[in-house]
Structure 1
Amino acid sequence: GFDVAVEVPVRARLFAVSESEFVLAMVVHHISGDGFSMGPLTRDVMVAYEARSRGEVPGWAPLAVQYADYALWQREVLGSEDDAASLISRQVEFWSRALAGLPDQLDLPADRPRPAVASNRGADHSFVVGADVHAGLNDVARESNSSLFMVVHAALAVLLARLSGTSDIAIGTPVAGRGEQVLDDVIGMFVNTLVLRTEVEGAARFVDLLASVREADLQAFGHADVPFERLVEVLNPERSQARNPLFQVMLVFQNMEQSVLELGDLTVAGVDAGSVSAKFDL
């Protein structure tokens, strides 16, 4: 664990697997870094390694902005919830309307009862979407003026509606929260979670459902600045240690590039940690 009031919540250890193979393990508290941060963090470590191997001090380029600058800017732009005309107030009002009456729980078929307190133990199931299916999904996206994410979201909503026997479907999705290019090199916690709500009518054509999903997604992405934890406080759903509030299924597009680096005679690549945790049902 970390005491974030005492130390910078980043820890590193180097493990020797053999005379020629080593593993550098880094633990970063989520309060100080998100998935996108791993790119610049890896780059900075490599710059440091290359410099130190030559007996020199790393020559990192100074950042144009610091995370503290972003935090101050965000607070200034969002304004106060006490001001009805502020951006944060308008976005909270949008979400209060969009998620009004949302069911507390989406019941999906399960092979075991839901525990009173979620264990957060999870598992992975991997499969490949064929190139022909991928091409077809992209065709549907182009024809409907939608993104690939929206098409997959609509298809997932149909599946969840059929599995649950309900029509009111909410899924969560993360957004990077880095709206300015100047933030690309900053290590910090920018990501936010959005709740995407869809009404799946059994008699509707998929093209019509996709149109409504597209509109709902665009509206959600346009109101993405309210922190999820604040949204939970405002909407105040029934709390339970057995499930995630507001949604229990998350859809994530992990389309970040995986890098393999060459530093002289050193080859560097990522290692799958192997442990799987799950905050959501699916």
Structure 2
Amino acid sequence: VVVCVVHHIAADGFSFAPLTRDLLTAYAERRGGGAPQWPPLPVQYVDYTLWQRELLGAENDPDSLLAAQVAFWRKTLSGLPEQLELPTDRPRPAVSNRTGGSLSVQVPASVHAGLSALAREHNATLFMVVHTALAMLLARLSGTRDIAIGTPVAGRGEQALDDLIGMFVNTLVLRTEVNPAANFAELLTEVRSRDLAAFGHADVPFERLVDLLEPVRSTARHPLFQVMLTFQNLARTDLALPGLAVSAADFTVPLAKFDLQVELAEHIGADGAPQGMAATFVYATDLFDRAT
């Protein structure tokens, strides 16, 4: 068993594809008595950081891109409720213990294909369709219209970054006004517009945004949002080593960073056809029971 421990400050989920590929390449070369030789990367992580700083500019420069993005988030998240009041099995404790449970289900291929077709019909993405459904569900469960959902974004806008190991991911707050009189297609149009605007202002680090917006901080909940939507559509990494059968050994850490986290992963066939999705609900056990 090979165990690789990487701190999140040094790598994100996207990094594991090049990391695994390089590990397998090195193994094959060493087994054959040689040493791995990799072509030099077009850019290093430090190049990315310097490019980001030059592109975004200074926060105190009113003409900088960073200042414009900060202004966007101040306006977008102005008046955001402190927390989303979902029906829980127990009162929220003063201090969250961060213990979590998980429940996994499979979305059938027929539903996956239908959702994808719906997205194409409305010039949206599958993520936007899922986001719309989750926002509508949370609005019904909470009895409120103002719904904030967090989501991670890869942060790799240039092809030259694809082979880099590093921490590029940022977290966005997607705020939606759910009109109970609107039908799903109308809400999807609204979500599409808001999501595109948020993705276009995705460079302000979430931690810095929290500092700037100064929401009421509490040890009982995550700031700005309490529900996270994670959508995995990364290409599957094949594991192949000479003389060995290789498989990944996943393990679950009983941790909940949020009240609820919905994780979706697409399964796509070799012909590009939808083959279903894996859905996992990670929940805070100090709020919810597994049956709930």
TM-score by length of 2: 0.86
Q: Are the aligned partners of 1:259 and 1:269 in contact in 2 as well (CA < 8 Å)?
A: no
Deviation at 1:131, TM superposition (A): 2.0
Match of 1:186 among 160, 164, 188: 164
In the other structure, the counterpart of 2:121 is: 143
CA distance in 2, matches of 1:65, 1:267: 34
1:113-148 Cα distance to aligned partner (Å, 9 max, x none): 222222222121111112222222122212211111
CA distance in 1, matches of 2:182, 2:229: 23
Residue 39 of structure 1 aligns to a residue in which SS?
A: helix
- Structure-to-structure mapping, 1:121-270, within 5 angstroms: 121-270=99-248
1:126-184 Cα distance to aligned partner (Å, 9 max, x none): 11112222222122212211111111111100100011111000000110000000001
Q: Which amino acid aligns with 1:181?
A: Q
Quick check: which one's strand share is greater? 2
CA distance in 2, matches of 1:254, 1:70: 23
Q: Which amino acid aligns with 2:106?
A: V
After superposition, the Cα gap between the structure-2 partners of 1:276 and 1:260, relative to the gap in structure 1 and judged at 3 Å, is farther
Deviation at 1:274, TM superposition (A): 2.7
CA distance in 2, matches of 1:187, 1:275: 23
Deviation at 1:112, TM superposition (A): 2.1
CA RMSD of aligned residues (A): 1.1
CA distance in 1, matches of 2:130, 2:237: 26
In the other structure, the counterpart of 1:46 is: 24
Q: Are the aligned partners of 2:24 and 2:240 in contact in 1 as well (CA < 8 Å)?
A: no
Match of 1:115 among 93, 103, 106: 93
Match of 2:73 among 95, 113, 123: 95
**Structure 1, 156-165 or 120-129: larger mean CA deviation:** 120-129
Deviation at 1:24, TM superposition (A): 0.8
Percent identity of the aligned residues? 64
In the other structure, the counterpart of 1:14 is: none
CA distance in 1, matches of 2:92, 2:235: 36
Q: Which amino acid aligns with 2:55?
A: V
Q: Which amino acid aligns with 1:126?
A: S
In the other structure, the counterpart of 1:77 is: 55
Q: Which amino acid aligns with 1:249?
A: V
After superposition, the Cα gap between the structure-2 partners of 1:277 and 1:257, relative to the gap in structure 1 and judged at 3 Å, is farther
In the other structure, the counterpart of 2:41 is: 63
In the other structure, the counterpart of 2:253 is: 275
Q: Are the aligned partners of 1:260 and 1:268 in contact in 2 as well (CA < 8 Å)?
A: no
Q: Which has the higher contact order (CA 8 A, sep 6+)?
A: 2
Q: Which runs of 5+ in 1 are unaligned?
A: 1-22
Q: Which amino acid aligns with 2:211?
A: E
Residue 196 of structure 1 aligns to a residue in which SS?
A: strand
Q: Are the aligned partners of 1:47 and 1:60 in contact in 2 as well (CA < 8 Å)?
A: no
TM-score by length of 1: 0.89
CA distance in 1, matches of 2:93, 2:34: 54
Q: Are the aligned partners of 1:260 and 1:267 in contact in 2 as well (CA < 8 Å)?
A: no
1:189-208 Cα distance to aligned partner (Å, 9 max, x none): 00000000000111112211
Moved over 4 A (4+): none
In the other structure, the counterpart of 1:8 is: none
